[in-house]
């Protein structure tokens, strides 16, 4: 009888020990999971803090118009733009994946606003050729991106072309919109791809023999 009682007590002790061991392991698993979550959160916060100051500034350094003769009877106007881009921090490398330059003409007739957009094709490669990261030190210097739009023949008809109409008006200024896709790298940390859109208001296209404004007007989002 005594032996049977001792065996029951030992069984209870073994069950208690097993339960205690499982509780300890479960606590360790929970702590490990919490530790992983905290570590992942710390990484996300660290990346966010590292990349938060990165900003790309666009400006219109030069805008000119040049009349040309096309053939014997046709005429045209070249609208030439030099847009500059630079990073505002010396810590980040910048990759310019895509850049687009659009000219926006608008007028109000009978209380209705009309808008026409004209994309100016790029005439020079993007910084880093659109595939490489521009080193941090170089990224803070203004990199030039040239674009040009040719208005020819019927497109110079001011009745149908708001852009041409604004060019020959008493205040020949045109809004320029720059859109871009960029990404950044700081140390070993890569950012996601950012979409940027900025507006450069009232850009005046001067004759090619006139000096550009200084400093160049900064485009804003």
Q: What is the pLDDT of residues 56-96, one digit of tens each?
A: 999 999 998 888 777 767 677 888 999 999 998 888 899 99
Whether residue 213 is contained in a domain is answered as no
Distance CA 118, CA 175 (A): 11
Q: 59 and 113: one domain?
A: yes
Domain that holds residue 6: 1-52
Task: Count CA atoms within 13 Å of residue 153 on its CB side.
Answer: 6
Residue 220 resides in a domain: no
Q: Say yes or no: 20 and 109 in one domain.
A: no
113 plus 173 within the same structural domain: yes
Co-location of 109 and 146 in the same domain: yes
Between CA 115 and CA 100 the distance in angstroms is 18
- Beta strand 206-207 pairing with 173-186: unpaired
What per-residue confidence (pLDDT) applies to 211?
Answer: 82
- Write down the pLDDT at residue 46: 37
* CB atoms near residue 55 (< 10 Å): 14
113-123: buried (b, 16+ CB within 10 Å) or exposed (e) per residue? Answer: eeebebebebe
Q: Cα(115)–Cα(121) distance, rounded to whole angstroms?
A: 19
Count up the domains in the chain and report the number: 2
Render pLDDT for 3-42 as a digit per residue (tens, 0 to 9): 554 555 555 455 555 455 545 555 444 444 444 444 333 3
My answer on whether 9 and 91 are in the same domain is no
């Amino acid at each position: 009888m005594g032996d049977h009682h001792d065996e029951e007590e030992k069984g209870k002790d073994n069950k208690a020990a097993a339960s205690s061991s499982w509780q300890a392991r479960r606590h360790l698993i929970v702590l490990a999971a919490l530790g992983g979550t905290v570590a992942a959160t710390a990484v996300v916060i660290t990346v966010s803090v590292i990349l938060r100051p990165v900003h790309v500034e666009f400006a219109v350094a030069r805008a000119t118009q040049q009349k040309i003769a096309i053939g014997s009877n046709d005429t045209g106007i070249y609208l030439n733009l030099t847009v500059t881009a630079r990073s505002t921090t010396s810590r980040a490398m910048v990759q310019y994946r895509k850049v687009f330059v659009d000219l926006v003409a608008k007028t109000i007739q009978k209380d209705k606003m009309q808008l026409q957009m004209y994309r100016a094709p790029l005439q020079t490669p993007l910084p880093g050729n659109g595939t490489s990261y521009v080193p941090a030190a170089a990224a803070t210097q203004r990199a030039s991106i040239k674009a040009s739009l040719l208005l020819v023949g019927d497109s110079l008809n001011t009745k149908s072309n708001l852009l041409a109409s604004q060019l020959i008006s008493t205040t020949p200024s045109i809004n320029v919109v720059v859109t871009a896709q960029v990404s950044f790298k700081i140390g070993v940390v890569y950012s996601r791809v950012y979409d940027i859109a900025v507006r450069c208001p009232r850009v005046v296209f001067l004759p090619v023999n006139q000096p550009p404004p200084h400093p160049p007007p900064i485009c804003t989002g």
